[in-house]
Amino acid sequence: MNVDYLYSLLAVVVLGLIAYVGAGASGLQAVFGIFIPYLAIIIFLVGFINRVWCWAKSPVPFRIPSTCGQQQSLDWIKQSKLDNPSTTAGVIGRMFLEIVLFRSLFRNTRTELVGDRISYKWVIWLWLFAILFHYSFLAVVIRHLRFFMEPVPFFILAVERADGILQVGLPGVLISGITLLAGATLLLGRRVLIPKINYISKAADYFPLLLIIGIALTGILMRYFTKVDVVKVKELAMGLATFHAGIPEGGLGPLFYVHMFFVCILVAYIPFSKLMHMGGVFLSPTRNLANNSRMKRHINPWNPKVKFHTYEEYEDDFREKMIEAGLPVEKE
């Protein structure tokens, strides 16, 4: 039985307790509210740039795009321009659908053995969970930008109004926070409950999901139950953004620092985890290359120059010995 999720859960709980006790009982608000956020941003920027730079300078001598459609061939054979693009426009279209709509995940299938025959079944649930999770996360991030800007740009206000369209209760329910928690929980449940997925999952797969669930839970608790002074939150955020950071008078409560600590851990963890697919998808040669091997000859630019020893040169070197051994030669 794979119990790696228990280790990840324990790690998240311990991190939460450290922030709760440290910011609450020990009075380390400046550490959790100023020092750790700056440290997390530095680790994220350095790690992200380093990872992208290493990928960017990695040699890709061959055309290796993933294809699942007809390649461009004869004029009377219809090409699959998105699944097997041969032009830059086709690659851009494929990348756009992949990044915005997770097109390859939408085509997810499951293989089953029915009797003595192999059956393929279309499975859309993972795509729905992924769409729900990623777009909820995006909406939450955009909404929180209002704490770091003054005046708040119109597009952030528009996203917030659309997010709170339900207007249920006071304060109004923001859809993205609920759907983010739901999406992360569904993805976690998939890894824990499905035996095949559970078998290949490691602690590193569970940790970010549990961390995001912790972020969503603490955010929901602060908004609807324990409450937090948003004016003080903005004061702290604007101070961080303008490099004039300071802890607001009266403090913000330990739950806020738990929430912020979880966010900082996630931000610092991104460059060292699978979450780096947010940058890596743009540099994946299986996605960003056109499949034009039949139209254009690709020569590996890293091949070293080789000095060839031709047969004529070989015969010139060993002609006498070849004649003595009775071997045929082209020149007597």
Ordered DSSP codes for 25-71: TS--HHIIIIIHHHHHHHHHHHHHHHHHHHHHTS---S------SPP
Give the Cα-Cα-Cα angle 220, 216, 21 (nearest 5 degrees).
Answer: 85
Rounded Cα distance between 65 and 94, Å, is: 11
Record the tokens describing residue 154, joined without a space: 């119109």
Quick check: 257 and 19 in contact, CB under 8 A? yes
Using the structure block, give the residue that is written with the tokens 């996630």: 266
First to last CA, the chain: 77
Which DSSP helix (H) or strand (E) runs through 110? Answer: strand 109-114
Its sign, for the CA torsion 51, 54, 55, 57, is: positive
Quick check: 50 and 272 in contact, CB under 8 A? no
Q: Average pLDDT of 302-317?
A: 83
Which residues are within 8 A (CB) of 195 and not within 5 positions of it... i.e. 6 or more apart? none
pLDDT greater at residue 169 or residue 317: 317
pLDDT at 263: 96
Rounded Cα distance between 79 and 129, Å, is: 31
Which residues sit opposite 120 in a β-bridge? 111
Rounded Cα distance between 60 and 151, Å, is: 45
pLDDT tens for residues 106-138? Answer: 988 888 888 888 888 888 888 999 999 999 999
Which segment, 102-111, 255-264, 278-287, 305-314, is predicted with the most confidence on average? 255-264
Q: Which of 273, 288, 110 is nearest to 202 (CA)?
A: 273
pLDDT at 210: 96
Question: With 70 as the cut, is the pLDDT of residue 303 above it?
Answer: yes
Which residues are within 8 A (CB) of 247 and not within 5 positions of it... i.e. 6 or more apart? 29, 30, 33, 34, 236
Record the tokens describing residue 248, joined without a space: 């607001």
Burial class (CB in 10 A: 0-12, 13-18, 19+), 120: exposed
CATH superfamily to which 4-324 belongs: Transmembrane di-heme cytochromes, Chain C (1.20.950.20)
CB atoms within 10 A of CB 209: 23
Question: With 70 as the cut, is the pLDDT of residue 1 above it?
Answer: no
Q: How confident is the model at residue 296 (pLDDT cuts 50, 70, 90)?
A: confident
Question: With 80 as the cut, is the pLDDT of residue 281 above it?
Answer: yes
Rounded Cα distance between 48 and 44, Å, is: 6
- Domain segments of the chain as ranges: 4-324
pLDDT tens for residues 44-57? Answer: 999 999 999 999 98
Q: What is the DSSP letter of 283?
A: G
Mean pLDDT lowest among 114-128, 169-183, 301-315: 301-315
Question: With 90 as the cut, is the pLDDT of residue 265 above it?
Answer: yes
Q: How confident is the model at residue 93 (pLDDT cuts 50, 70, 90)?
A: very high
Quick check: 233 and 256 in contact, CB under 8 A? yes
Quick check: 276 and 270 in contact, CB under 8 A? yes
3-state secondary structure of 118: strand
Which residues are within 8 A (CB) of 179 and not within 5 positions of it... i.e. 6 or more apart? 132, 136
Q: Which of 124, 135, 142, 136 is nearest to 181 (CA)?
A: 136
Rounded Cα distance between 160 and 174, Å, is: 8
